[in-house]
Structure 1
Amino acid sequence: MFTGLSAFPLTPLTENGIDEKSFVRLIDRLVSAGVDSIGALGSTGSYAYLTHEDRARVARLAVENAGDVPVMVSIGSVRTSDVLRLAEDAQQAGVKSVLLAPVSYQKLNEDEVFTLYETVSRNLSVPLCVYDNPNTTHFEFSDALYMRVAQLPHVASIKIPNLSPDPVATRQRLDALRALLPAHIKLGAAGDLAAATVLTQGGDVWYSVIAGLFPEIPVAIARAAKRGNAAEAQALSAQLEPLWVLFRKHGSVRVVAAAAELLGMVSAPCLPLPLQSLGGDERQRLAGVLEQLRLQA
């Protein structure tokens, strides 16, 4: 479950709710490309904007259409009681794992975050991936908290932010974490830009935004890394630099949503307001990048 490439698709929306047909087409696309797992309802999947019922429905759709590809679903919410309900829904849908970020309106402290994971882990029957996402949650895990949470039952992976594209720095960071954590904990890249480096420097899994829409090159990157061909993995990642430029400037979800809209893969707008995909000149710039990279629906 926690190796190779985990692709995180959009959850496309319309005025009437979830665009189920478009979502299923995105899942089919990932299965056909041979991704190792699917991360439904991640940050790219707009989970924080959806109702409890919508999230349960998307979890079922993902599992029902993923075939043999394992599905992970985000269960993050601001109240622990809601997280537990979402965890139960996800398990009933048949997911193979869950993803949990410490979502909150008030900034949490380390003891509160640990208690969240401790409570949730006691009520799971599937593995849990810890999502350290300070850009969204405004909470950053310390290594000491990683160590505490990693000892809990069912915790199996950590989605690590802000890993460096520098191979030496990334190797040092991963080695330092492995020295602190139980051997079974899988370490994954939370960002696309450094993922090729992470996979070739000892990381286990790439939790990928771009693979949720355009999986072919990410699949090739992951397979090159698995073969130990760092040069090929880095060269493939470098091909996507025009996209990485836009990711750095606007954030990945706005870019992939605009790309999906431009290519007719989803209706426009597909994001939950007030969130919006790229518009104006930047949208036209993205259209040129898609043509340059020959990225198609």
Structure 2
Amino acid sequence: MFSGLSAFPLTPMNESGIDEAAFARLIDRLVAAGVDSIGALGSTGSYAYLNRAEREQVTQLAVAQAGKVPVIVGIGALRTRDVLDAAEDAQKAGASGVLLAPMSYQKLSEDEVFGLFDSVTRHLSVPLCVYDNPTTTHFEFSDELHGRIAQLPNVRSIKIPGVPVEPEAAKARVDRLRALIPSHVTIGVSGDVLAATGLNAGCDAWYSVIGGLFPRTALAITRAAQSGDVHQAMRLSERLQPLWELFGQYGGSLRVMAAAAELQGLTESPCLPLPLKALDGPGKQKLATLLEALELT
């Protein structure tokens, strides 16, 4: 479950509620493509914008629609109490694992983050993936903190925010972290532009944004890296450079992927919770041209 391609789909919605039909279509695409796991309610899934009932609704639908494909559910929240509630709901719904980022309004200390994971893992009966995402949480894990948390019960993976661009530096980064964690804890790369580099450097998994919408494209990169074909994995990733540049231009992947889903007819417009908005105008037109040229699947 915490290796290979973990695909993170959007949670299509508007101010009236979750678009269950659109969400089911996205999950069906992932199952048909053969992804290794599905990450529901990650950052791409807009978990931070949903209340408890909405999260429970999405979790139940994801698990039911995914069939035999493992579903990892995001449980991050501002208060430990609410994280524990989300964990309980995910477990009751049949999630195979959970994903936890240390969300905060006040910046957290290392002791506070360790305390969060210590509290949550004591109440879990499913595996947990540590979500290291300083872009959204504004908390930066040290490798030493990862090492402490990785010793806690039920911790099975660490989702790191990319690796250095240079292959040798990327391998050194992964090796340094791996030396501090137990052998049963996997390392997964996020930040799609660096996914091929991370996989080639020894990461076990790719926690993928584009995999949530274009799973076959992401699987081709993943399987090439898993088979040891370093050059093919990099070639396939470099082909997507115009898409990676759009991510950078528009503040990340979420707005771009939302617009892509709309252009592909997989969701209605709008499909993000306000005040967030998908690309529009010239940006969306540029994306449409790019999607046609790249023929993503």
Say which SS state the counterpart of residue 89 (structure 2) adopts: helix
Matches of 1:182 and 1:146 in 2, distance apart? 11
Matches of 2:168 and 2:296 in 1, distance apart? 32
Say which SS state the counterpart of residue 180 (structure 1) adopts: coil
Say which SS state the counterpart of residue 61 (structure 2) adopts: helix
Match of 2:108 in 1: 108
Instruction: Give the conservation status (yes or no) of the 8 Å contact 1:73–1:90.
Output: yes
Match of 2:175 in 1: 175
Listed as ranges, the gaps of 5+ residues in structure 1 are none
Identity, in percent, stands at 63
Instruction: Give the conservation status (yes or no) of the 8 Å contact 2:199–2:222.
Output: yes
Deviation at 1:216, TM superposition (A): 0.8
* 1:267 maps to amino acid: E
Deviation at 1:94, TM superposition (A): 0.6
* 1:44 maps to amino acid: T
Match of 1:139 in 2: 139
Deviation at 1:14, TM superposition (A): 2.5
TM-score (norm. length: structure 1): 0.98
Matches of 1:263 and 1:222 in 2, distance apart? 23
Deviation at 1:295, TM superposition (A): 3.1
Say which SS state the counterpart of residue 270 (structure 2) adopts: coil
Match of 1:73 in 2: 73
Deviation at 1:165, TM superposition (A): 2.8
Match of 1:149 in 2: 149
Listed as ranges, the gaps of 5+ residues in structure 2 are none
Matches of 1:144 and 1:226 in 2, distance apart? 28
Alignment of 1:179-218 (within 5 A): 179-218=179-218
Match of 2:125 in 1: 125
Instruction: Give the conservation status (yes or no) of the 8 Å contact 1:143–1:177.
Output: yes
Matches of 2:232 and 2:240 in 1, distance apart? 13
Q: Deviations over 1:175-204 (max 9, x none)?
A: 111111111110010210111111112110
Matches of 1:200 and 1:295 in 2, distance apart? 22
Match of 1:258 in 2: 259
Match of 1:277 in 2: 278
Match of 1:225 in 2: 225
Say which SS state the counterpart of residue 193 (structure 1) adopts: helix
Q: Deviations over 1:249-286 (max 9, x none)?
A: 21100100011112211010100011111122111111
* 1:286 maps to amino acid: L
Aligned residues: 296
Matches of 1:295 and 1:124 in 2, distance apart? 37
Matches of 1:155 and 1:96 in 2, distance apart? 13
Instruction: Give the conservation status (yes or no) of the 8 Å contact 1:165–1:193.
Output: no
TM-score (norm. length: structure 2): 0.98
* 1:275 maps to amino acid: L
Deviation at 1:162, TM superposition (A): 3.3
Deviation at 1:218, TM superposition (A): 0.7
